[in-house]
Amino acid sequence: MTGAAAGREPPETPAIGAPVLPEQVRLRVVALAADTLGALKAEDVPPALRPFARFTPGKRARLAATPLAFALAGDAQFRLQVADRVRDGLPDLAAALDAGTPPAAADPFDVAAAAYLLRPAGWAQLVEAAAEAVRLDGAAAGDTRALESVARLQDQLAGTRTAAREEAKRLRGELAASRVEVRELRQRLREATEQTRRAEAAADELRDAAQGRRAQDIRAASLADAEQRRLRARLVEAEAALETARRTAREGRAVDDSRLRLLLDTVLDAAAGLRRELALRPVEVRPADTVEAVAPGPSGGAPERALADDDPVRLDHLVEVPQVHLLVDGYNVTKEGYGELPLESQRRRLVGGLAALSAQTKAEVTCVFDGADLDGPVPSSAARGVRVLFSPAGVTADELIRRLVRAEPQGRAVVVVSSDREVADGVRRAGARSVPSTALLRRLDRS
């Protein structure tokens, strides 16, 4: 509690007939009380306001407005503490109010709020003056709003009249157009009615014709059903006769097969018995070995026929070797044979030809394409009897062919088709035979 508030007794505050504070004055009084509440000691705070003492001034003024107003009206000591805060903060205004000469230039609401708290002589009149100022401001604002409303209504009325005249003019035009349209629609209705009558007459004629055609179709369908039943009966008879003939043929063939098998078994048993009876030794010397002649010396391999490297007959001899594996350097062959085609067309043409070659020779065929620079798998049409492979990333088709040759067991016949000299030399060192691409192209053209 401040010294000024503790050193004097609070004056009497009339409880009956006290002026009602205008809203603007009440807000200022509550704001001053909320600001003062935060500066009081804990024991000086009224009990009803202690829950709000720790709030910020703005939060106290917003949430504790009603308790603060009741405390100012009923607790004179708390009001005097707020009044001392006003005297310290607004000494000139407090001195003027104590002297009974409030400043004319001051805000009447601030003067009324200070007078309510300080309670100088005639403070009630100052509050009433503030309330009167509020009423006068409200009346003036109401008159201004009324005048603005009247002007706005007059403008709206003028606009409404103009719009009504334009709408009436538009409606008169639409009415005239509607009348013309009604006359046209009536004429069209008469024409449509006449067309409807003619169409109904034509429909009646078509209905009669359709009924006649339907009767003819029914008779034709009956005749067709009878013919179909007759043909079905004949088909059943023919199938029965065919089955009888097949059964007879099967029975006759079974007898012939039994006789042939019996004869063959008899011959085989006789040959086996003859071999056991003669007890002949295995053949060690052939008749040709008894003829005196000079045998040739050893050589690096069996002599071949005098055929050119690209002769397709040479390739035929190689693929006729039992269990031969034919490896084809795909793009080496296609670039030499039909390099003007797109890559997909080159692959499809070569794989199709290899499929035909595989079907003719029964050889195992693997076609290798270079796929080292591809971003993903290449779609390729499958062909029966041909294995299509693409080299993985970082590996060329030549290296993949050499890997395939090395993967084969020793002694198996492997033929590599490529005109690349490096590939041919590499596969020969690995034990495979090499054939130029032109030989395969000529062989495929011959097919």
CATH number of the domain at 436, please: 3.40.50
**What CA–CA distance (Å, rounded) separates 436 from 370?**
18
Percent of all residues in the chain with a pLDDT value above 90, rounded to a whole number: 29
How does strand 386-390 pair with strand 414-417? Answer: unpaired
**What CA–CA distance (Å, rounded) separates 102 from 97?**
5
Is 175 a domain residue?
Answer: no
**What CA–CA distance (Å, rounded) separates 46 from 24?**
25
Is 351 a domain residue?
Answer: yes
- Paired residues of 433 in beta bridges: 415
SS (H, E, C) the chain: CCHHHHCCCCCCCCCCCCCCCCHHHHHHHHHHHHHHHCCCCHHHCCHHHHHHCCCCHHHHHHHCHHHHHHHHHHCHHHHHHHHHHHHHHCHHHHHHHHCCCCCCCCCHHHHHHHHHHHCCCCHHHHHHHHHHHHHHHHHHHHHHHHHHHHHHHHHHHHHHHHHHHHHHHHHHHHHHHHHHHHHHHHHHHHHHHHHHHHHHHHHHHHHHHHHHHHHHHHHHHHHHHHHHHHHHHHHHHHHHHHHHHHHHHHHHHHHHHHHHHHHHHHHHHHHHHHHHHHCCCCCCCCHHHHCCCCCCCCCCCCCCCCCCCCCHHHHHHHHCCCCCEEEEEHHHHHHHHHCCCCHHHHHHHHHHHHHHHHHHHCCEEEEEECCCCCCCCCCCCCCCCEEEEECCCCCCHHHHHHHHHHHCCCCCCEEEECCCHHHHHHHHHCCCEEECHHHHHHHHHHC
pLDDT beyond 90 at 118: no
Mean pLDDT (whole number) for 131-160: 72
Q: What is the pLDDT of residue 192?
A: 92
Range of the domain at 436: 312-446
Is 229 a domain residue?
Answer: no
**What CA–CA distance (Å, rounded) separates 391 from 368?**
7
188-239 per-position pLDDT tens digit: 999 999 999 999 999 999 999 999 889 998 999 889 889 999 998 989 988 8
Last residue of a domain, one of 79, 99, 121: 121
29-77 per-position pLDDT tens digit: 888 877 877 777 878 778 877 788 778 888 877 777 788 778 777 888 8
Q: Tokens standing for 54?
A: 């720790």
Mean pLDDT (whole number) for 390-410: 90
Confidence class of residue 138 from pLDDT cuts 50, 70 and 90?
A: low
Q: What is the pLDDT of residue 10?
A: 44
Is 42 a domain residue?
Answer: yes
pLDDT beyond 90 at 331: yes
Range with the largest mean pLDDT of 166-170, 250-254, 309-313: 166-170
The structural domain count of the chain equals 2
Is 435 a domain residue?
Answer: yes
Last residue of a domain, one of 121, 148, 167: 121
**What CA–CA distance (Å, rounded) separates 71 from 419?**
113
Is 9 a domain residue?
Answer: no
Phi, psi of 117 (to 5 degrees): -85, -40
**What CA–CA distance (Å, rounded) separates 331 from 350?**
9
Percent of all residues in the chain with a pLDDT value above 70, rounded to a whole number: 79
241-279 per-position pLDDT tens digit: 888 888 888 877 776 777 677 667 666 766 665 665 565
- Paired residues of 387 in beta bridges: 366
- Cα distances from 231 to residues 74, 218, 234, 237, 241, in angstroms, run 122, 20, 5, 10, 15
Q: Tokens standing for 344?
A: 């997909």
Is 195 a domain residue?
Answer: no
Last residue of a domain, one of 121, 149, 176: 121
Is 272 a domain residue?
Answer: no
Phi, psi of 65 (to 5 degrees): -60, -45
